[in-house]
Chain A
C-alpha cells in the first residue's frame, strides 16, 4: 500500500473525542461553519446526520403502467438501513427524471414495430428535503405484454453525501452499467423466448383460422361472403400481420449487437467506446402498432395456443415481476452485482478516494506489488474505471490514468450544468448559452460568465416550487476543448469542498428535486453516423426542436476518454488530454503532486512526509465548483492560491470520519455479506476493498500487535530482518493463541512469493521438514515436550541453518546478526505511532519504498550482466555492490533484503504463469546469534 503516513497518522479509529483539539485558530475564511445538525448530538463529520436513512443503499424502482412509480427492492434489504426514508416518494422522484424513456414515438414511415434499444441514462439528483442524493440509472426492459413492449426501471444509489455521488460518478456508472447489462441480457433472453412462444401461438392460430375459413368457403357456395367470413378473413389478415411483426421483433432482439455484450462484460470503458457506433444502428422508437400488439394475450406455453382476436384489458392482467422479466439466473447475478456495488461504495467519500488512489497507484507497480500487497488482482480487473496500464509503458506516463482525475469530474460537470442544461429554464437560453459556453471554452474560462449561469440556475430553483433543478450534466465535458484554466483543477479535496458538504444541505426549495448531473451513456452522435443511420436522424429531428439539451444528453464524457485511454494512451498522451479535456490535463498536473508521496524516499527518521507544495496557478475551475456549491460568490476570493498543506485539516476531518464510519461498517460487513454475494458468479467477486483478503480490522490488529512486538522485544529488528530476507522465522510457543497472534502480526513483514498465498503458517505442531521452509517463511510452532532426538524441536535444531527461531516462552531469539538501517526505520520501538492501522500503513509505505529499490536493482541491466563483452564478472559485481551501497543507500544486511526481493521479482517476472512453479529456498551460511531478554 502506498500511503502517506503523516496524513493517515491522523486516522482515528476510536476515542478521537478524547483527543485534545488544540490546533491554532484558523483564519476566518478557513473556519468551518457550524454544523447544522450538531444539536442532534451527531458526529459533525458524518454526512448522514441530515438524512432519514442510516447509510447508503441501492433502490430499484419501476414505473409501472398500472400503479405508477413504485419501489421494488432495496439493497441491503434491511429496513434499518433506509429507516423512515420514504421509498415511494423517492421512487416517484427518481422515475420522473428519466430523459431517455421520456421520448415515446415512432419514426414516420416505419412499417413494423421497432424495438428501441435505448441506452441507459445516468442521472444524479438530489432531494434536499429528504437529505438524499442519488445516482439514478434508468433502464428499460422488454415485456411483450407491456405498453410499447417496454417497462422502465431504475436503479438508484442513494446516499446522503452529494459529493460522494458526484465524485464517484464514473465508478458508480461503470458498476451500475454492469448490473444493468446483466439485467438486460437476461431480459433479452427471456423476451426472445417469449416471442418464440408467441410466434408459435400465432402460427397455430393462423392454421386454425385458415381451416375455418376454408370450411366456410366450402360451406358458402352462394358466391358472396357472409359478414362472418369477412370477419374471419380480417382476423386472419391481422394474425398474418402480427406474425410478421413478431418475427421482425424476434429478429431485432436477436440482432442485438454482441460486441456490446462482450464489451460490457469485460470493460465498461470499452463498451462505452463502442456504444457510440453500435447503438445507433438499433435505436428506433416504437411504432403505433404497439397498441395492436397489446391486444394479443400471450400465455407462455410450449404447446401452441389459440389466440383470441379480442384481448382482455391490459389493466386486468398481472405484470411480470422483475425476476420473471429477466432470467432468474441473471436476476440473482444482478443482485449480487448490486450488493457488490453497495459494498464497494461503503464508507466515507474520503476513504473511497484514498483507497482508489491507492489502488490505482498500486496497479502501476504491477511488477512489484505482489510482494507485500494482499489485494486480489481479479477484483482489480473488474474495476474497469481506471484503465489498466500497458506493461511496456514508461511509468511516468501511466500515472495519468489513475482515478484521481475522476474525482474532479464533478468540476466539469458543475460547469457543464451551468452551461447547457436548461431543463426548466427558458428554451431560448439553451442555444445561446451553449454557444457562450463554447466561446468560454475556447478562451479561458470566465468566472463572471459562470456566475451569470449560476444566477440562472439559482433562479430556476428558487422560482419553481415543484421544479426539477438540474445542477449538472456530464454531457458537455466531452465537447469541451482544452482550456488553460482547467489545467489547474488539481485539488482533489480541499477545505472548501469539505466545508461545502456541511452547507450543501440547502433548503432553497422546499419540495424541489435537484438533478445534479446526468450522464446518458450514449455518446454524441458523430456526423457520419447521423447520415448513415436514419433512425438517428429521426431521433434528432424529432427532438432537436424540443430541447437542445436532449440531444446533448446523449453525450458521454466517459466514452471518448476511456476509449482513448484504453487504446491510444500509449502513443498519444497529448491527444488524450485534448479529447478528454480537463480529465487528462488534471491528471497531468496531478501527477506532480501524486508522485511526491509515492516516490520520494522517506526521511531518515522513518516517517514519510509530503513536503508542502504550493499551487502556482489560480484555481478558476475550482471557483466554479465552489460557487455552484455554495451559491456564494464571496467565497471565491478566499480560494485563490491555496497552499497545499492547508489540505491537511480537511483530510484530518475526513479521515476521522472515514475511520469511524468505515469501522462501523466493517463491523457488520461480514453479516451484511448477504447470501447473494456468496452465490455470486465468478464475474462478480465479493467486494473489492472493504472486505478484501485482509480486512481493515485485520490490518489494524496486525499493526497493533506488530507495534507491541517491536516495543516489547529489543531483538525485533533481527527477527524482522529474517522475514524480509526470506529466512523462515519459527515462532515457538506453548499457547496457540499467543503464537497465532504474533504470527499474524509479523506476517505484515513477509514478502509474498505470488499473489495468491502468503507464505505464512500460523500454527503447526508436527515436526518441520525441509519442504516447510521452502513453502513457509513464517511458521507458528507448538512447543511440545518430546524426548530428545525426536519431535519438532529436534527437527528445528537440525534445520537451524534455514531458520530463525523466536521462542516466546523463553523470550529468546536465535537468528543472524542484523546491522542495517532499514529495519530500524521500519520498526522503531520509540515510534510515535500509536495506532495499529497507522503503523500498518507506515509499514506498507516503507515496504513500498523497499520494493521500488528492489525493482530498480532488478531491472538495471548492467548491474547483472556485463555492458559489453570484455567486461569481467568482477566488474559487474563491483558495479552491483556500489549501486546497492551508494545509489540505494543500503547498509550491511539491507543488501540481502533487496537481493532477496529482487530474486522474487525475477522469478515472478520470468515465470510464464505466475503462481505456479516452485519457490526455491535460498539461504546463506551465516552464523546465528542468540538474543535473550
Chain B
C-alpha cells in the first residue's frame, strides 16, 4: 500500500508473502468501530482489564497502579495507588451482604506479595493483606461459600473480611497459574503440567475450622498448562504449551475429549519441515479459551480454532489469524469473535456456515507450492490431509483494529460502549461505534438545548 513511500526493498514481496495471513483491505464495511479514544494513564504494560459495572472498568498492569475509567466518555475516574510492583491479578469482589454501602470492590494481587481490596467508588484502600510467602498469581471468589482463594506457590482460603481461613502446603515453585471453581466445593488449580483438584471443607458441627484438601492430581498434559476454563455445567477445558486441549468432565474429572494434533503440523513435505523447525515452539501453545453453548474457541499460537463440543471436532479454523501469538479472544453475541495478539492488532471474525465444501478456505498451500515461503514467518499449513474432513464452518475476517504499537494484552467488550483494549505500549484504547456515538452526542446536545430552554420545536 505504501510501497512508494518506503521505496524498494522487500516490502513489495511482503504483501504477497503475507497471503497466509488473511488480510482485509481498508474498506471494512462491517467494522463498526469508526471512532477511537486513546486513554493514557499507565506508565508500563497494561495487562488486565476488568468490568466493574455498566459503564466502568478498571485497568491494571506492570506499573502497579489500578485506574478506574468511564467506558462511555473515556474519563479517568480514579487512580488507585498502593502496590509497589506489577499487578499480577485483578478480580471484582462481591460486596459483603451485611455491608450497607454497595460499593464496587476489587481485589488486586501484586508482585510485591500483597493483596489489596479497593473501593472503586471512593478510591479508598479498604484492606491490605501482606502476609504472603510468594506472589499471588491468581485470585478466585467462591460466592457460594463466601470465601476467596489466592493462588501463588500455595493456595490460601480467605473470608470476606480478609482473614486467612486455611492454606495448602507449598505446591510448587512455579506456582498456580490458573484456578477455576467446579462443583462439590472443589477448585481446579493448574500447577505446571499438573491439574490439582482441591476440595474446600466448610466448618461443620465437628470442626469449626475451614480446611482444604487435595483430592486428585491429573497428569495428562505433556507440558505446562497455560489456560484453564469452565466451559459449561458438565465440562472444563485446559490447554497446554504444546497445543494439547483436553476437555474434562467437571464431576469425575475424566478426559472427555482430547485434541492435540489437529493444529499440530502433521507429516509434511520435506521443504516445509525445515520451515517448521524454525517455528518457535509456542506457535501452537494454547493461550486462551472462550466458549459458547456449542463451541470452544481456542487461541492456538497465531491461529484461531473453533471446536464443537457436540461433534467433538474442529469446525472452523484460521491457522494464521494474526502475525503473532493470539493472547486473548472473546465471543460476541452476534456470532462474532474478537481476537487480540502480540502483533498489536485486534481482529474481528465472524463464524459462518460454509456454503459448499468446494470452497476450501485454506489457500495457503497454493502459495507454498510456489515457494513464496518466508523464513521468518510461519509457513502456511499443509493442505488438509482429509479433504472430506474439511471444517464445515469458516472464520471470516470482517475487520481489524489497528491502534496499538505493541502487543495487545487484553480487551473488554461493552455492549453499549464498544471495545476496550489494553496493550504493552502503555495505552488503553476505547473503540467505539462512530455512528452510534454521533447519535448519542446529538441526543446529548438536544438534551442540553432543552435544559437551557433553547430548543424550539416546530409546530
Question: Is A918 among interface residues, defined by CB-CB distance under 8 A?
Answer: yes
Q: Which of B25, B37, B457 contacts A921 (CB 8 A)?
A: B37
What 0/1 readout, one digit per residue, does chain A (893-933) give for beta carbons within 8 Å of chain B?
A: 00000010001001101100000011011111111101010
What 0/1 readout, one digit per residue, does chain B (406-428) give for beta carbons within 8 Å of chain A?
A: 00000000000000000001010
Question: Is A858 among interface residues, defined by CB-CB distance under 8 A?
Answer: yes
State the CA gap A925–B431 with chains docked (Å): 14
Q: Are A771 and B427 in contact (CB under 8 A)?
A: yes
Query: For residue B457, which residue of chain A has the nearest CB?
Result: A861
State the CA gap A930–B4 with chains docked (Å): 9
Question: Is B203 among interface residues, defined by CB-CB distance under 8 A?
Answer: no
What 0/1 readout, one digit per residue, does chain A (634-674) give for beta carbons within 8 Å of chain B?
A: 00000000000000000000000000000000000000000
State the CA gap A923–B427 with chains docked (Å): 19
State the CA gap A927–B4 with chains docked (Å): 16
Residues of B close to A814: CB separation below 8 A: 1-2, 4-5
Q: Are A865 and B448 in contact (CB under 8 A)?
A: no
Question: Is B438 among interface residues, defined by CB-CB distance under 8 A?
Answer: yes
A921-B402 contact given A864-B446, A865-B442, CB 8 Å threshold: no
Question: Is A380 among interface residues, defined by CB-CB distance under 8 A?
Answer: no
Report the minimum CB–CB distance from A907 to chain B (whole Å): 7
**Stretch touching chain A among B26-34, B58-66, B121-129:** B26-34
Residues of A close to B36: CB separation below 8 A: 770, 774, 920-921, 923
Question: Is A67 among interface residues, defined by CB-CB distance under 8 A?
Answer: no
Question: Is B35 among interface residues, defined by CB-CB distance under 8 A?
Answer: yes
Report the minimum CB–CB distance from A41 to chain B (whole Å): 57
Report the minimum CB–CB distance from A648 to chain B (whole Å): 39
Question: Is A320 among interface residues, defined by CB-CB distance under 8 A?
Answer: no
Question: Is B16 among interface residues, defined by CB-CB distance under 8 A?
Answer: no
**Stretch touching chain A among B6-14, B84-92, B178-186, B380-388:** B6-14
Q: Are B446 and A797 in contact (CB under 8 A)?
A: no
Q: Are B5 and A793 in contact (CB under 8 A)?
A: yes
Question: Is B74 among interface residues, defined by CB-CB distance under 8 A?
Answer: yes
**Which B18-48 residues have C-beta < 8 A from chain A?**
25-29, 31, 34-38, 40
What 0/1 readout, one digit per residue, does chain A (800-813) give for beta carbons within 8 Å of chain B?
A: 11000101001010
Query: For residue B6, which residue of chain A has the nearest CB?
Result: A793
Residues of A close to B402: CB separation below 8 A: 798-799, 801
State the CA gap A864–B439 with chains docked (Å): 7
A861-B446 contact given A795-B405, A800-B26, A923-B35, CB 8 Å threshold: yes
Query: For residue A928, which residue of chain B has the nearest CB?
Result: B26
**Which B417-459 residues have C-beta < 8 A from chain A?**
425, 427, 429, 432, 434, 437-439, 441-446, 448-449, 452-455, 457
Question: Is B403 among interface residues, defined by CB-CB distance under 8 A?
Answer: yes
Q: Which of B1, B427, B429 contacts A797 (CB 8 A)?
A: B1
Report the minimum CB–CB distance from B35 to chain A (whole Å): 5
A865-B446 contact given A732-B5, A796-B2, A928-B26, CB 8 Å threshold: yes
Q: Are B441 and A927 in contact (CB under 8 A)?
A: no
Report the minimum CB–CB distance from A591 to chain B (whole Å): 21
A771-B26 contact given A797-B2, A864-B446, A865-B442, CB 8 Å threshold: no
State the CA gap A891–B257 with chains docked (Å): 59
State the CA gap A864–B435 with chains docked (Å): 11
Q: Are A921 and B2 in contact (CB under 8 A)?
A: no
Q: Which of B35, B399, B442 contacts A920 (CB 8 A)?
A: B35
Query: For residue B425, which residue of chain A has the nearest CB?
Result: A769
Query: For residue B443, which residue of chain A has the nearest CB?
Result: A865
Residues of B close to A36: CB separation below 8 A: none
**Which A777-836 residues have C-beta < 8 A from chain B?**
788, 793-801, 805, 807, 810, 812, 814
Count B interface residues, CB 8 Å: 48
- Which of B6, B25, B40, B439 has the most CB atoms of chain A within a 10 A radius of its CB? B6
Residues of B close to A926: CB separation below 8 A: 26-27
Residues of B close to A109: CB separation below 8 A: none
Question: Is A27 among interface residues, defined by CB-CB distance under 8 A?
Answer: no
Instruction: State the main secondary structure of chain A at its contact with B.
Output: mixed
Question: Is A889 among interface residues, defined by CB-CB distance under 8 A?
Answer: no
- Classify chain A's interface size: 35 or more
State the CA gap A927–B40 with chains docked (Å): 29
State the CA gap A71–B296 with chains docked (Å): 93
Question: Is B404 among interface residues, defined by CB-CB distance under 8 A?
Answer: yes
Q: Are A788 and B9 in contact (CB under 8 A)?
A: yes
Residues of A close to B37: CB separation below 8 A: 774, 918, 920-921
Question: Is A392 among interface residues, defined by CB-CB distance under 8 A?
Answer: yes
State the CA gap A50–B164 with chains docked (Å): 97
A793-B2 contact given A391-B454, A907-B441, CB 8 Å threshold: yes
Residues of B close to A864: CB separation below 8 A: 439, 442-443, 445-446
Residues of B close to A903: CB separation below 8 A: 438, 441
**Which B151-208 residues have C-beta < 8 A from chain A?**
none
Report the minimum CB–CB distance from A910 to chain B (whole Å): 5
State the CA gap A858–B399 with chains docked (Å): 30
Query: For residue A858, which residue of chain B has the nearest CB?
Result: B445
Query: For residue A770, which residue of chain B has the nearest CB?
Result: B403
Residues of A close to B27: CB separation below 8 A: 925-927
State the CA gap A392–B455 with chains docked (Å): 9
Query: For residue A798, which residue of chain B has the nearest CB?
Result: B402
State the CA gap A810–B3 with chains docked (Å): 12
Query: For residue B439, which residue of chain A has the nearest CB?
Result: A864
What 0/1 readout, one digit per residue, does chain B (312-335) give for beta carbons within 8 Å of chain A?
A: 000000000000000000000000
Residues of B close to A861: CB separation below 8 A: 446, 455, 457
A800-B448 contact given A924-B34, A927-B25, CB 8 Å threshold: no
Q: Are B26 and A927 in contact (CB under 8 A)?
A: yes
State the CA gap A926–B31 with chains docked (Å): 11
Report the minimum CB–CB distance from B422 to chain A (whole Å): 13
State the CA gap A172–B139 with chains docked (Å): 73
Residues of A close to B26: CB separation below 8 A: 800-801, 925-928
Report the minimum CB–CB distance from B109 to chain A (whole Å): 30
Residues of A close to B2: CB separation below 8 A: 793, 796-797, 800, 805, 814
Q: Are B438 and A770 in contact (CB under 8 A)?
A: no
Residues of B close to A807: CB separation below 8 A: 4-5
Residues of B close to A865: CB separation below 8 A: 442-443, 446
Q: Are A788 and B403 in contact (CB under 8 A)?
A: no
State the CA gap A927–B26 with chains docked (Å): 5
**Which A722-754 residues have C-beta < 8 A from chain B?**
732
State the CA gap A921–B402 with chains docked (Å): 13
Residues of A close to B6: CB separation below 8 A: 788, 793-794, 797
State the CA gap A392–B2 with chains docked (Å): 50
- Which of A391, A769, A801 has the most CB atoms of chain B within a 10 A radius of its CB? A801
State the CA gap A599–B36 with chains docked (Å): 35
Q: Are B445 and A805 in contact (CB under 8 A)?
A: no
Residues of A close to B445: CB separation below 8 A: 858-859, 864, 906, 909-910
Q: Are A922 and B4 in contact (CB under 8 A)?
A: no
**Which A287-303 residues have C-beta < 8 A from chain B?**
none
Residues of B close to A899: CB separation below 8 A: 438
Q: Are A922 and B442 in contact (CB under 8 A)?
A: no
What 0/1 readout, one digit per residue, does chain B (70-111) give for beta carbons within 8 Å of chain A?
A: 000110000000000000000000000000000000000000
Q: Are B1 and A928 in contact (CB under 8 A)?
A: yes
Report the minimum CB–CB distance from B235 to chain A (whole Å): 39
Report the minimum CB–CB distance from A871 to chain B (whole Å): 14
State the CA gap A803–B314 with chains docked (Å): 40
Query: For residue B4, which residue of chain A has the nearest CB?
Result: A812
Residues of A close to B29: CB separation below 8 A: 925
**22 A–B pairs (Cβ distance < 8 Å), ordered by A:** A391-B452, A392-B454, A769-B425, A770-B36, A770-B404, A774-B36, A793-B2, A797-B2, A797-B6, A807-B4, A861-B455, A861-B457, A864-B446, A865-B446, A906-B444, A906-B445, A910-B448, A920-B36, A924-B34, A925-B27, A925-B28, A925-B31
Give 10 new A-B contacts, CB below 8 A, not counting A769-B405, A771-B38, A899-B438. Answer: A774-B37, A800-B26, A812-B4, A864-B443, A909-B445, A910-B441, A920-B437, A923-B34, A925-B28, A927-B27
Pairs A-B, 5 closest by C-beta atoms: A864-B442, A797-B2, A925-B28, A906-B441, A770-B403
